[in-house]
Each structure stands twice: as C-alpha cells, then as structure tokens.
Amino acid sequence: MDNFAAPLEELIDSFASLPSIGRKSAQRLAFHMLSMDDASAQKFIDSVTNARSKIHRCPVCCNLTDKDICSICSSPSRNKSTICVVENPKDVIAIEKTHEYNGVYHVLHGAISPLNDIGVEDICAKELILRLQDDSVKEIIMATNTTVEGEATAVYLSHLLKPIGVKVTRLAYGVPVGADLEYADEVTLVRAIEGRQEL
Amino acid sequence: MDNFAAPLEELIDSFASLPSIGRKSAQRLAFHMLSMDDASAQKFIDSVTNARSKIHRCPVCCNLTDKDICSICSSPSRNKSTICVVENPKDVIAIEKTHEYNGVYHVLHGAISPLNDIGVEDICAKELILRLQDDSVKEIIMATNTTVEGEATAVYLSHLLKPIGVKVTRLAYGVPVGADLEYADEVTLVRAIEGRQEL
C-alpha cells in the first residue's frame, strides 16, 4: 500500500492541481478537509458553488461582480470621463484603497505576452475600445503593472486609443515612498530622475 | 469599494481558513476557482464530498480507508504479530514505501502534547490497547516522530503496554544515511554513538 485510499488520493490530486499548492501542502489540506465538521465543509463547498454561479464580469468594465453592473460603474458619484485601465481585479482594490481616485476602471484580465501566447484578443481590450464610442471619456490612465508585459500592453493600447482622440496617461515611475535610495534599482532611479518635479 | 463582491470575498475567506494558506494565496486560489471550467470545478467539489463521505478510520488500526477494514489489516500476507505505532496516516505511507516492513500498523492520529491540551484520551491509544487483548501480538514498534511530543507519547504508551507483557521497541536513533557528520546535531550524534553497532 504505497498510496492513500483512492478517494483520499483524488482529494489530494484536486488540491495539488491548484496553483502554488505542492504535493505536501495538498496532503495537509486534504487531511484538514477530512477533519472538518460537516457544517464547515458544507460552507466551503457552498462558497465555491456560490461564487462560481454569482460572480461574473461587469458588462461595462469587465471587473468581477455579483450585480448586473458593478458597484463602481453604477455609482452616480464616480467620474465616468476618466477610465483607469488595470490588469486584474486585485489592482482595482489596491487603487480603491487609496481613496484618492474617483474615476471608473477597466479590467483587462491579463496583459499581452507573446511568449505565453497571450495576444490582444485574449484580454478585454475590445470592450475598452467600445467604451470610447461616445465622447464622454476624456482620459485613459494606463495602470498596468510595470513589468515587461504590463509595459507592452500599455504602449500597445495607447497606440490603439490615441487615434480615437482620447488623452492616454501612464502611472508615474519613481522611487517608492519610504524606500532607501541605495536599494533602488538603476532603471527605477533613471525613471525617477527623468520624472523629477519642481518643489 | 474596498473589497471584492461578497460571494468572492466569502470564497477567499473559505480558502484563507485552510491551514498554511495566507490571504494572498487565498485570493490566488479563489481567482483560479472562478476561472476553472465547469467540469474541473465539479470534479474538485466531488472529490471533497466523495472523500468526506467514503473515507473513515479502519476499526482495527485507525488508519484512513474507504473499505470496511483497511487493505493492510485485511491482507492475509501481513504479519499480525507486529504492530508499528505511528502518529499519522502519512507515516504509514512513508514506512510502506521502504517495502521492508511486513507487519501491521496502528495510527494514533496525533501525539500527546500537554501544552496543546492533547492528552492520551485524544489520540487512538485505547484502540491500540484493545488490540492486545488476544495473545497474538508479540511486538509493538513505536514509530512516533522523534519530536518532544512523539517521544513523550512513545514513553507513555510503552509504560501502559509493558505490563500487558508485550515487547515494546523504538525506532533506532542515529545519523541519517547520506548525511555529513559535521551538520548532525549533538543530541543525534550522542544517540548514534550510544547505539553504535559492531561491523
């Protein structure tokens, strides 16, 4: 008997198929799952089925929501003339936590990455272009990650969007607040010097 | 909107409640769960319900099994006169993988740990003592972990079992095979010297 009983092995395989869960973690999770009381296990299963059935993409901004139109797009207090373009729903939460941005968002659900076979048609880019058909949008803020893929996506989309006549901006590059200059990498420092501002 | 939609937050909470899954990992797992196709998601849920309904403790050795009596206890080729006592089902698999042990097992499902409020009544110790009521068992091999809790459990159980008249042994302590002596800790080296054997 080199393996656990079949249903337990299947449960371990299920967990091991999730991202960043190795075999040992999957075992630990499976044993935990077996030791749970019935109510907690049912709650776990319900949360999976519930989220999968209720969560969908907002037809306007492609962010994940359980409403017909997400709470940001449907809010009358948000400024619909500025769209902040991000890669993932997590980035929306990150920017919302600043409490400084009052515009709306567009979630691409990824970034262009030819090496991984992800082209512009695999991200929610055409939905963004559709939003520009009325003239109400004045500015697009590219807030994709500052990785190679995020940069490429920002540059590619700006080339698509500028001919439409909308202002396209990019988040400022620079030294993070609270950082020691000696630990900043060269590229970041160069960008920070280039983008210096008068005091 | 500082948070994700409610069903998504609940799914993240569900994952975050699992052992050794932090908030960021839980988010990644939740997003993965949403992006799965229906068949994979159903397979995941089925594996949880399946394992929970079918897996139970073997009434003889307390190992986890989906049969009435586990495959080791019910095997006619196993030597029922030797019982190897381990803390967890994973330890059974580890010893089985050696293909050297032909006796049966007893899984305690834990170790005595007064600091964590785990006493002898919280582990499957009485089931072990019940197995000694007929005279067929000749030897008990204590293969609990060599941690403080595992040692305490082995010593405590041996005190309970010896009066019954059964031979109680403990796994040998020593230097692991393939190890550099310079990296062995003092306690292990002392045990290895004490347990030295003639070549």
**CATH number of the domain bearing residue B33:** 1.10.8.420
A68 part of a folded domain: no
Strand order in the sheet with B103-107: B103-107, B79-86, B139-142, B167-170
Instruction: Determine the residue of chain B that is closest to A3 in CA distance.
Output: B93
ipTM: 0.82
Structure tokens at A195: 């983008």
B145 lies in the same domain as B86: yes
Nearest C-alpha neighbor of B168 from the set B142, B134, B133: B142
B48 lies in the same domain as B87: no
CATH number of the domain where residue A93 is located: 3.40.1360.10
Instruction: List pLDDT tens digits, range A111-153.
Output: 999 999 999 999 999 999 999 988 899 999 999 998 999 999 9
Answer yes or no: do B48 and A93 touch at CB < 8 A.
Answer: no
A181 lies in the same domain as A100: yes
- Do residues B85 and B143 touch, judged by C-beta distance below 8 A? yes
| Window 118-177 of B, Cβ < 8 Å to A | none
Instruction: List pLDDT tens digits, range B154-173.
Output: 999 999 998 988 999 998 88
Instruction: List pLDDT tens digits, range A50-83.
Output: 999 999 999 999 999 999 999 999 999 999 999 9
| Window 11-70 of B, Cβ < 8 Å to A | 11, 13-14, 17-21, 25, 27-34, 36, 40-41, 43-45, 47-52, 54-55, 64-67, 70
- pTM equals 0.80
Domain extent, residue A177, equals 76-198
Question: Considering CB atoms only, which of A1, A2, A41 is closest to B48?
Answer: A41
A89 part of a folded domain: yes
Answer yes or no: do A66 and B8 touch at CB < 8 A.
Answer: yes
Length of chain B measured in residues: 199
B63 part of a folded domain: no
> In the predicted model, what is the mean pLDDT of chain B?
91
Count structural domains, chain B. 2
- Do residues A141 and A103 touch, judged by C-beta distance below 8 A? yes
B194 lies in the same domain as B121: yes
Distance CA B188, CA A82 (A): 66
For residue A85, the cross-strand partners are A106, A142
B175 part of a folded domain: yes
B42 part of a folded domain: yes
- Do residues A157 and A85 touch, judged by C-beta distance below 8 A? yes
B127 lies in the same domain as B181: yes
A33 part of a folded domain: yes
Answer yes or no: do A28 and B51 touch at CB < 8 A.
Answer: no
pLDDT of residue A1: 64
